[in-house]
Amino acid sequence: MGICIYLFLSYLINHTLTYYTMEQAQVIHMDHPHTDVKKEIINVTIILSVLTIIELALGFTMMGIENQGTRLAIKGIIVILMLAKAFYIVGYFMHLKHEIRNLIMTIVVPLAIFIWFITAFLYEGNSYKNLKNRYDPYKVERSHTIVEKKESVKEEKKAE
């Protein structure tokens, strides 16, 4: 079904984009004198660094938090920041934002299949976990047996 949707979308986009003329494209490419480009590179570098620092700060704060709900919320924020970084790298460093729409759509629209891909497979993994924990006694036992940590074993040996 995903393939059908993809084919339909690519058909639709190719036909709606037929009416972009060469003149418009030249305008797109002309509005970038090189001083602006330098400024843009510096800005994007700063944005990427700041986003990375925020991500790391969130990672550090997450270490002290035990509550699973809060941890999940922070992980969600980190994923959103990750997508923002991806947008800046693809859009500005890889210059995709300044290409014409034909190219942008050709590259970006097929990637929409990831929405289904991620949702379906994570759902599948979660369902497998639930089934396993309900019906597989070996796995249930295993997931409740606390194993002694290696470091503590070493320390005991030292103490002896």
Partner 1 sequence: MSTTTATAPTKWWNGGRSPFNVEYGKLMMWYFLMSDAFTFGAFLIAYGTTRFAATSWPDPNKVFASYPLMPEGSHAPLVFVSIMTFILILSSVTMVLAVQAGKEMKKNTVAINLILTIIGGLAFLSCQAWEWTHLHHEGAWWGMNPFLNADGTQSTTGFTNFFFTITGFHGFHVFSGVVINCIMLIMTLTDKFEKRGHYLMIEKAGLYWHFVDLVWVFVFTCFYLI
The number of beta carbons lying within 10 Å of the beta carbon of residue 73 is 13
Give residue 149's region: left, alpha or beta (phi > 0; psi -120 to 50): beta
Residue list 113-152, contact with partner 1 (CB under 8 A): 114, 117-118, 121-122, 124-126, 128-129, 132-133, 139, 142-147, 149-150
- On whether the CB atoms of residues 50 and 88 are closer than 8 A, the answer is no
Residue 2 binds to partner 1 (criterion: CB under 8 A)? no
Residue 77 binds to partner 1 (criterion: CB under 8 A)? no
State the nearest-atom distance from the C-beta of 131 to partner 1, in Å.
10
State the nearest-atom distance from the C-beta of 24 to partner 1, in Å.
10
**Can you say how many angstroms the Cα of residue 89 is from the centroid of all Cα atoms in its chain?**
12
State the nearest-atom distance from the C-beta of 4 to partner 1, in Å.
18
CA separation for the pair 156, 39 (Å, rounded): 59
The single residue listed with the structure tokens 């639709």 is 12
CA separation for the pair 70, 147 (Å, rounded): 27
Among 37, 50, 112, 115, indicate the residue that binds partner 1 (CB under 8 A): 37
Residue 90 binds to partner 1 (criterion: CB under 8 A)? yes
Question: Which secondary-structure segment (H or E) carries 102?
Answer: helix 101-108
Q: Tell me the two tokens of residue 85.
A: 């970084």
Q: Which residues bind partner 1 (CB under 8 A)?
A: 14, 17-23, 25, 29, 34, 37-38, 41, 45, 48-49, 52, 55-56, 58-60, 63, 75, 78-79, 82, 85-86, 89-90, 93-94, 99-100, 102-103, 106-107, 110-111, 114, 117-118, 121-122, 124-126, 128-129, 132-133, 139, 142-147, 149-150
